Homo-oligomer: A and B are copies of this chain.
């Protein structure tokens, strides 16, 4: 009852990643073991080394995959011709849904580990966040967009660690949107109007 995607040769890397994401969701990053993944997928314990030089590279691959999914969610959310506040609200909801629904994965994605491939992860993260930058056209330094993003990530973090109950998320999102997208909210930040 362990394997979700059968290993059929040539796709060991994919099979390991698929199984890894399942274990991650169920039991968290600390429970991820290369040996167990190999066992689940029906391969020798040394086989994963060919595709992931060490455990850290597996986590890096999961992070990049996670940011790719997040990028899609955000892209879909902002894709409309509505006013910025409405699009921002959709982006916020999409972000919070993902960051809270996939809490364990998001924790890995935002992990600060010394041996990580910061280059690849940073690239995929920046790409995922680009549509949010576009919601602040007058924000040349990207401050407002970054702080808005930080606010969303922070709300998700407080919920995920249990400090804030999940039921209060919609209200918190209301407050955040009002602060960043109320008429004139940008006036003090030097962004023109």
Task: Mark A residues whose CB is within 8 Å of B.
Answer: 27-28, 30, 103-104, 107, 109-114, 118, 121-122, 125-126, 129, 141, 143-144, 146-147, 149-155, 157-158, 160-164, 168, 171-172, 174-176, 178-180, 182, 185, 188-189
Q: For residue A121, which residues in chain B have a CB less than 8 angstroms away from its CB? A: 161-162
Q: For residue A153, which residues in chain B have a CB less than 8 angstroms away from its CB? A: 150, 154, 157-158
In the complex the two chains form, is A111's CB within 8 Å of B189's CB?
no
Chain A at the B interface: mostly helix, strand, loop or mixed?
helix
Counted per complex, copies of this chain come to 2
23 sample A-B contacts, Cβ–Cβ < 8 Å, listed by A number = A28-B112, A28-B113, A107-B112, A110-B157, A110-B160, A110-B161, A122-B162, A146-B155, A146-B158, A146-B172, A147-B172, A147-B176, A149-B158, A150-B153, A150-B154, A150-B155, A154-B157, A175-B189, A178-B188, A178-B189, A179-B185, A179-B188, A179-B189
